[in-house]
Amino acid sequence: MFPRKEKPVERQGFVKRLRARLNRGDSWLTYDLANLAPGGKIDEDVLDELESLLVMADVGIDTTQRIISDLQASLARKELKDVDALRSGLRRSLVAILEPVARPLEIVGEHRPFVVLIVGVNGAGKTTTIGKLAKRLKQDGLSVMLAAGDTFRAAAVEQLQAWGERNAVPVISQQAGADPAAVIFDAWQAASARNIDVLLADTAGRLQNQKGLMDELAKIKRVVARRDETAPHEIMLVLDASQGQNALVQAEKFHAALGLTGITVTKLDGSAKGGILLAIANQLQVPVRFIGIGESADDMQTFSAEEFVDALLAGGSQ
């Protein structure tokens, strides 16, 4: 049922937008890649420089090592004759890392409502991601309800209600300070009574090291499972790509505490280097569902390894 198969022309539009937005159209690799080997000869020095570029682009030491050793092996086999060969070797290596985690969110199975619990640190883009997702799900013909599980700030409920109005989907909320598990449980009951397909549950931002608040998420998970033991069907972490390596730490801690089933990476349109996606894929192996490339409802795409790598490697001399 979800996701609907996008038409090739839609997909092309996404790729164009991704290229233009990623690092504001000037990708972090290719521009320098051509400059790395002015004489066109690829040797150990070129790979050393590429290594530094990758580390600076938030790819992280371990993941960079994996990529560079792949390329060193190709170099030893004399396969890296020029910059183009280096570019294709790099492309292969990046796709190999990302492909295993490029698994879209699928709303399948009999369980209704399909419950998606959205978690993450403050300001990562959780509520915005819910708004974008609600629009997509509705476009694909599913009925959607939102649960205002961020009871910490009154403004958080208003923000979610605004997204609800924009997409004509109901929002279940209680007063500020209410128990988030109770709000989400009530919303589950309302969604179930109305035969809603998907319940998207917002939560307040929290740091991965705030034990009490992390326990609160575990409680929400338990309470939802009381009525449907298969729920929540998706525990999605929203990560702000511009946080670089800190985003990887967040992902590790949230995964350890909750058992994530998906990740959405936002704000790839800003100053983010994009490398954090490689680090997450290599270190964590949690499926990456969507990437956010802007603030409006259509600025989110299903994550595709090949498209993302092509967008990274595009620009510069290409």
Ligand X SMILES: Nc1nc2c(ncn2[C@@H]2O[C@H](COP(=O)(O)OP(=O)(O)OP(=O)(O)O)[C@@H](O)[C@H]2O)c(=O)[nH]1
| Residues lying near ligand X in the complex (CB under 6 A) | 120, 122-128, 150, 156, 205, 238, 266-267, 269-270, 292-295, 299
Q: Residue 129, interface with Mg ion (CB under 5 A)?
A: no
Which one, 127 or 261, has the nearer CB to Mg ion? 127
For residues 35 and 122, which CB has a smaller minimum distance to ligand X in the complex? Answer: 122
**Cα dihedral sign, 58-63-67-68:** positive
Q: Is 203 in the site for Mg ion (CB under 5 A)?
A: no
Q: Is the distance from CB of 201 to CB of 232 less than 8 angstroms?
A: yes
- Kindly state whether residue 30 participates in binding Mg ion, applying the rule CB under 5 A: no
Instruction: Rule CB under 5 A: say whether 128 interacts with Mg ion.
Output: no
Closest-approach residue to ligand X (CB): 205
Decide if residue 264 touches Mg ion (CB under 5 A).
no
Which range, of 78-86, 125-133, 250-258, 300-308, touches Mg ion by CB under 5 A? Answer: 125-133
- State the nearest-atom distance from the C-beta of 186 to Mg ion, in Å: 19
> DSSP code of 240?
E
DSSP states along 165-220: HHTT--EE---TT--HHHHHHHHHHHHHHTT-SEEEEEE----TT-HHHHHHHHHH
Answer for the pair 19, 309: CB distance below 8 angstroms, yes or no: no
Residue 124 CB, nearest distance to Mg ion (Å)? 8
Cβ distance to ligand X smaller for residue 216 or 269: 269
The 10 Å Cβ neighbour count of residue 231 is 21
CA dist., res. 142 & res. 299, Å (int): 20
In whole angstroms, how close is the CB of 172 to Mg ion at the nearest point? 16
Residue 265, judged by CB atoms within 10 A of its CB (0-12, 13-18, 19+), counts as buried
232 vs 292 by CB, closer to ligand X: 292
Of the candidates 203, 248, 196, the one whose C-alpha atom is nearest the C-alpha of residue 221 is 203
Binding segment (CB under 5 A) for Mg ion, from list 14-22, 82-90, 124-132, 239-247? 124-132
121 neighbors 207 (Cβ within 8 angstroms): yes
For ligand X, which is the closer residue by CB, 158 or 215? 158
Q: Which does 292 bind (CB under 5 to 8 A by kind): ligand X, Mg ion, none?
A: ligand X
Q: How far is the CB of 57 from ligand X (least distance, A)?
A: 18
With CB under 5 A as the contact rule, the residue among 127, 243, 250, 261 that binds Mg ion is 127
Handedness of CA 286, 287, 293, 297 (dihedral sign): negative
Q: Which of ligand X, Mg ion, none sits in contact with 266, Cβ below 5 to 8 A by type?
A: ligand X
Residue nearest Mg ion by beta-carbon distance: 127
Q: Is the distance from CB of 291 to CB of 102 less than 8 angstroms? A: no
Site of tokens 């801690």: 253
Smaller CB separation from Mg ion, 93 or 159: 159
CB 315, min distance to ligand X, A: 19
Among Mg ion, ligand X, none, residue 316 binds (CB under 5-8 Å by kind): none
Q: What is the spatial distance between Cα 191 and Cα 112, in angstroms, rounded to a whole number?
A: 8
* Host H or E run for residue 307: helix 305-313
Asked if 93 interacts with Mg ion (CB under 5 A), we say no
Binding site residues, Mg ion, CB under 5 A = 126-127
